[in-house]
Amino acid sequence: NLTFQRYHRISDIYAYLEYLVSKFPSICSIETIGTTIQGREIKVLKISGSNAKFGFYIEGGIHAREWVSPASVAYIVRELVEYRSKNSFAENADYYVSPVANPDGYEFTHTNSRLWRKNRRDSTDKSCPGVDLNRNYGYQWGGLGASRQSCDETFAGENSFSEPETQAVRDFLTKIGPSVQAYVAFHSYGQYILYPYGYDKVLAPDSAVLQKLGARIARNIKKASKKKYKVGNSAILLYEASGGADDWAKGSVGIKYTYTIELRDAGRYGFLLPASQIEATGKDAFIAIKTITQEIAGIG
Ligand code: 0X9
Ligand code: ZN
């Protein structure tokens, strides 16, 4: 069992997933979708709905230092599994939850360097390791806001999908296929609800739907916690950045309800969000998942 009073190592997070499978075997199962450069497993927890009409992919921890992301995703998992009886909306979907999309980087922020962002790929010159996994996806890869230089924080990699972590997600989503209707990636910080595209100031044909639903999420969060989240196109509201998981999910896989959500805070603590704010931030994240599920299921 996990406490939400502190941040956890990946072994604790994975042990929690295993515990849920042992305690709730009829709804929970784990798939290892890949292995990192340093040999760590990339795990996805499937939470099956009794009346599932669509799949919902939830990604956390692609950026190593954004600790409140895996913590909030674990909080969502607890709501969907352990508190399932009061969250019956969840029966409408099969959730595929990847709490730590960048295990090597996440562990490195615990053991070596708290503000590390990328994975731990050794670069050719060895001096600057790491690829920004959220610049390594294959939709408009290598464009604006992505670097070709390994020393940069936004290094896109030698090629699109050069990294085992992004390959794993690509292959898994390709396999589970068109049933998936929602993809949410949790990041920090800034309190933004962002929708594609991010590679340039380009809107998808259905962006008005995403803006409207994003505004509903923000309203529901504000009602519950008083916190304000800004809603908008990611390139316009934040900055252009190509090769993101969200753009690929939307543009290549065709997942309609694709968002990147930057969780708390608005800048005071930034990546170093105190653990005392995990619960409240997890609640924001859970409200987003609930609101999107209700919209797709038509029970909003
Ligand atoms: O730059 C990013 O990858 C995300 N912001 S963060 O501060 N957490 O690093 C935003 C990504 C938005 N999506 C795309 N640009 N595709
Ligand atoms: Zn991030």
Average pLDDT estimate for 122-137? 90
- Complex confidence, ipTM: 0.99
> Which of 238, 252, 253 for mutating ligand 1's site (highest number of atoms within 8 Å of CB)?
238
Whether 5 is covered by a domain: the verdict is no
In terms of phi and psi (left: phi > 0; alpha: psi -120 to 50; beta: otherwise), the region of 137 is: beta
**Cβ atoms 182, 89 nearer than 8 A:** no
Nearest CA-CA partner of 77 in 171, 231, 186:
186
User: How many angstroms separate the alpha carbon of residue 60 from the centre of ligand 2?
Assistant: 9
Residues 188-246: pLDDT tens digits? 999 999 999 999 999 999 999 999 999 999 999 999 999 999 999 999 999 999 999 99
Q: Tell me what pLDDT residue 123 has.
A: 75
Whether 2 is covered by a domain: the verdict is no
Q: Is the pLDDT of residue 19 over 90?
A: yes
Whether 109 is covered by a domain: the verdict is yes
Q: How many CB atoms lie within 10 A of CB 24?
A: 15
Q: Residue 196: nearest ligand to its CA? A: 1
Whether 3 is covered by a domain: the verdict is no
> Which of 62, 132, 134 for mutating ligand 1's site (highest number of atoms within 8 Å of CB)?
134
246 lines ligand 1 (CB under 6 A): yes
Q: Is the pLDDT of residue 172 over 80?
A: yes
Residues 134-145: pLDDT tens digits? 999 999 999 999
User: How many angstroms separate the alpha carbon of residue 86 from the centre of ligand 1?
Assistant: 33
Q: Is 240 a catalytic residue?
A: no
Average pLDDT estimate for 149-174? 98
Q: Tell me what pLDDT residue 1 has.
A: 82
Interatomic CA distance for residues 211 and 192, integer angstroms: 12
Residues 44-66: pLDDT tens digits? 999 999 999 999 999 999 999 99
State the pLDDT confidence band at 126, using cuts at 50, 70 and 90: confident
Whether 168 is covered by a domain: the verdict is yes
User: What share of the chain has pLDDT > 70, as a percent?
Assistant: 99
Mean pLDDT of the chain: 97
Which CATH number characterizes residue 138's domain? 3.40.630.10
| Residues of the domain holding 107 | 10-297
60 lines ligand 1 (CB under 6 A): no
Interatomic CA distance for residues 279 and 72, integer angstroms: 8
In terms of residues, how long is the chain?
A: 300
User: How many angstroms separate the alpha carbon of residue 88 from the centre of ligand 2?
Assistant: 30
Interatomic CA distance for residues 8 and 4, integer angstroms: 9
Average pLDDT estimate for 264-271? 98
**Cβ atoms 160, 138 nearer than 8 A:** yes
**Cβ atoms 53, 178 nearer than 8 A:** no
Whether 1 is covered by a domain: the verdict is no
265 lines ligand 1 (CB under 6 A): no
The ligand 1 atom nearest the CA atom of 66:
8
Residues 70-105: pLDDT tens digits? 999 999 999 999 999 999 999 999 999 999 999 999
Number of domains the chain contains: 1
244 lines ligand 1 (CB under 6 A): yes
User: How many angstroms separate the alpha carbon of residue 107 from the centre of ligand 1?
Assistant: 21
224: part of which helix (H) or strand (E)?
Answer: helix 207-225
